[in-house]
Amino acid sequence: MAFTKKPVTGMRDILPEEMAVRNYVEQTIRETYAGYGFSSMMTPVVEHIENLTAKQGGDNEKLIFKILKRGEKLTEALSDLRAAGAPAEGEAENLSDSGLRYDLTLPLARYYANNQSKLPQPFKALQMGPVFRADRPQKGRFRQFQQCDIDILGDPTNLAEKELILATSEALEKLGFGENCRIIINDRRLLFEMIAYAGLPGEDAEKILIVLDKADKIGPEGVDQELLSMGYGQEQIQRLRQLLSGCQGTPEDARNLGEALGTETAKAAGENVADIMQSIAAVKSRHIQMCFVPTLVRGMGYYTGTIFEIQTDALGSSIGGGGRYDRMIGKFTGQDVPAVGFSIGFERIMTILMEQGFSVPETGEKTVYLIEKNMPPERVGEILNEAISARSKGARVLVAWMAKNKKFQKENLMKEGYTDFRDFYREELKK
């Protein structure tokens, strides 16, 4: 059987030019987040299958790369299934004991539950790493991709949300995504209170939220038509529409919606959104546009309160998002822990930067030492030592053999950003 040189569908090879940009973007993000007191940590890419399929990840649970049991455990599982006459479609669940993580949030919750006694309180976590989804590949979307998350665990106040928004927006501004970005914000509690106020059935909440989440694409009339087609009454839909009409996205709109809904939960949720927006607006050093969008839903089933997304005109989808998930850690420990996180869409940012021809800012001259071939080994050692000495002073030095076509060689090296060349010839030894 012949080897296949192309990567697996949905995966990709990354060439040095893009890798340099990726490293720069990652370093910029890490340094920014470190300035806000976030600590780097890491979780395995493989998670227990029961964690991944615990109805916490929304549609992502349909996209898990499952890992088969190994050795005797696989043989026993196959034997048990066949003896029981299990249908073939049920085998995948029984033959898997783990899978590749589809995001970084659920692994972080498990990590915190396992290590809580060793971590500071509250814990400000920074995690970057690959995640995997058996999705249909498209522009800016791959089956293996990098995620970049910051989370605050153990802080029940919305100071945590404010810190996340400021840190994320600062990192994006440093990467050139300042004035072209806006953060839209909502509170999941408002969504459920709106459904109850309109008289729509609570057991259908998730289906209704899927329709509401399309409001920015299909408009208010489209939402009404979809809800009608699902069998809901005109009066119920009209009550929902009245709640949403006239919203301009201001903090007062959030407060007014909470008051209109009337319950203490709704009032607290509206006040929460308004308070966050007003605090961020008072930070004069950040150029952040924030907008309250009462139909923002976010797909993950684990969100319990504040939710937010970053939108940019440079891409037809969000480039980041997050929210509060106060009940996830309790699934592991039996005791809920307040938690909120923000994730930057690393691959989508990279897609935009590469399309714009972004290049890494040079911090100094890049030098090449070109050595004529057949140079005596002692002299090669001396040149290598010179390069080491230059590097110790902060220089970037590439050592290479001199090609026959030195002009063409230098032209290619200049495309890589090298501007200073030192040539070493054998004849110099005779002088």
Of 100-109, 208-217, 288-297, 365-374, give the lowest mean pLDDT range.
208-217
pLDDT (average), residues 149-153 = 98
User: What tens digit of pLDDT does each residue of 204-260 get?
Assistant: 888 898 888 888 788 888 888 988 889 888 999 999 999 988 889 999 999 999 999
User: Could you tell me how far CA 123 lies from the centroid of its own chain?
Assistant: 19
* pLDDT value of position 222: 87
Please state the rounded mean pLDDT for residues 2-27. 92
Share above pLDDT 70 across residues of the chain, in percent, rounded to a whole number: 93
Domain limits, the chain: 16-64+102-355, 366-430
pTM, entire model: 0.86
For residue 44, the tally of other CB atoms under 10 A from its CB is 12
d(C-alpha 161, C-alpha 325), whole Å: 12
What is the C-alpha to C-alpha distance for residues 398 and 111, in angstroms, rounded to an integer? 41
CATH superfamily label, 16-64+102-355: Bira Bifunctional Protein; Domain 2 (3.30.930.10)
**Pair type for strands 181-187 and 289-292:** parallel
| pLDDT tens digits along 347-406 | 989 988 999 899 888 777 899 999 999 999 999 999 999 999 999 988 899 999 999 999
